[in-house]
Amino acid sequence: MDTLIEFGITLIQAIQSLSPALDSVMNFISFLGTIEFYILLTPLLYWVVNSQLGLRVTLVLISTDIVGVYFKHLLRQPRPYWVGKVKNLAEEASYGIPSTHASDSLAVWGFLANNLRKR
């Protein structure tokens, strides 16, 4: 696991060397996976687009988060800025792997893409 962590830190440092050119773009992309964004998105889907879709997206988000938090505590893997010289743009107290930020994004956006494809 140490080799994988070292590889990840090296990759993050390479991407962060492009800073500040990518900071605003990456912050926007990151915002699309935050709970604050989902607090805006799910009511919008529920009241404006389709109540069933809004409810399903909320259930997907909650279930993905529950599974992610469970595995975070099971695996207890450090965040990159806890173990390497990586600039942190946001402070988090929970463990790093699996990323609930990434898994929530994959689940919600994947669900929405699949739903759009069916229409």
pLDDT tens by residue, 51-79: 898 899 999 999 988 888 888 878 777 66
Whole-model pTM: value is 0.70
Instruction: Report the distance separating Cα 38 and Cα 25, nearest Å.
Output: 19
pLDDT in tens, 74-119: 877 766 666 667 666 666 766 667 777 788 888 888 998 988 876 6
Instruction: Report the distance separating Cα 78 and Cα 94, nearest Å.
Output: 9
